[in-house]
Amino acid sequence: MKDYSDALQQKLKGKRILFVGVKFYHFTDEIISKLKQHGALVSFYYERDTSIAFGFAKSFRPSYADKLQENHYKWVISDTRKKEFDYLLVIRGYEMKPWFVEQIKKDHPGIKTLLYQWDSYSNWECDYRPLIPYFDEVKTFDLQDAQELGLSYVPTFSSDEYASVPRQTQCKYDLFYTGGYTTPRMEFLKQLIAYSQENNLRLFTHVVMPRKAFLKDWITGTRYNTSLISLKSLSKSEYLEIFTQSNVIIDYTKDSQAGLTMRSLDVFAAGKKLLTNNAFVTRESYYNPEQSRIFDPKKFEVDREFATTVTSFPRQDFSIDKWLNSLFS
């Protein structure tokens, strides 16, 4: 795989980056660590108001939540006004408005502004399209968004450890499925479990529901099958261990999403098999029907030989370094 270290050192060494983004599992910390590794000076601000008041208002007083969110961005501006920056890097930008970007530019003349989206505008509550004219560069992980909006298509990344996952000749699990709780995913999970039992496939599943959401629904009388869901996410090491021991990794995405998930890229980085409902994977240059299969979440089935025969494939480069090199082009 290509070494991007020299290129990134030239682009990032000594650069002061105002990074506004989402706290998404361990990925944000990895991005910050890599930026610093290549010599950048990073000031990170979470995209959301994280107060208890905001969490309450989001559920019961949305208009007040909007005000709190606006105040959050005003605080970011106030807190950074006396600092110097070369770049504004925004990943997602929850409820971000053009005035925020304009004020950052006013406070920091000459700053270069970069917006990266790892959600499709049609799948997320915050439509980022009004922000596009205010950024110097806008890039997206979603091929469909890129084509429709005239943006650069840049897939996300895989954590470095997946590029060195040991090759397996035997696997403990035929299928591995994990994800956050949604009603469609729960229906799919039930179908997946039934199918695996009927076809004698070794399946590992882990579907997570946020504890706050579980308690909120419990108070209002909603009950869940607790044998199917967990209130605790797998740790990074736990996930990697199960991933390594699994032959086929299942990826379930929203119907309208074209962008490949990080889970899919982990699979390609490790040279494993992918089973996904995202047909856009077939448009990628590295697509191999022996490695990637498409399933219908409404009527799940999988070729038994595909599920049970352990095969290794060439590892694809989806490193964070490659991704950063594409962002700071």
Give the span between the Cα atoms of 138 and 64, in whole angstroms.
30
Q: Phi and psi dihedrals of 107, rounded to 5?
A: -75, -25
> Which residues, listed in sequence order, are joined to residue 44 by a DSSP beta bridge?
19
DSSP category for residue 129: G
Mean pLDDT of 20-46: 94
> 272-312 pLDDT, tens per residue?
999 999 999 999 999 999 999 999 998 999 999 999 999 99
> 182-234 pLDDT, tens per residue?
888 888 999 999 999 999 999 999 988 776 665 665 666 666 676 777 878 89
Question: Hey, what CATH class is 5-154 in?
Answer: alpha beta
For 161-308, CATH number out of 2.60.40, 1.10.3470, 1.10.10, 3.40.50 equals 3.40.50
Say yes or no: do domains 5-154 and 161-308 share a fold. yes
Give the span between the Cα atoms of 158 and 261, in whole angstroms.
10
Segments making up each domain of the chain, as ranges: 5-154, 161-308
State the pTM of this model.
0.90
Please give the sequence-ordered ranges of beta strands (E in DSSP) within 96-172, or none if there are none: 112-117, 137-140, 152-153
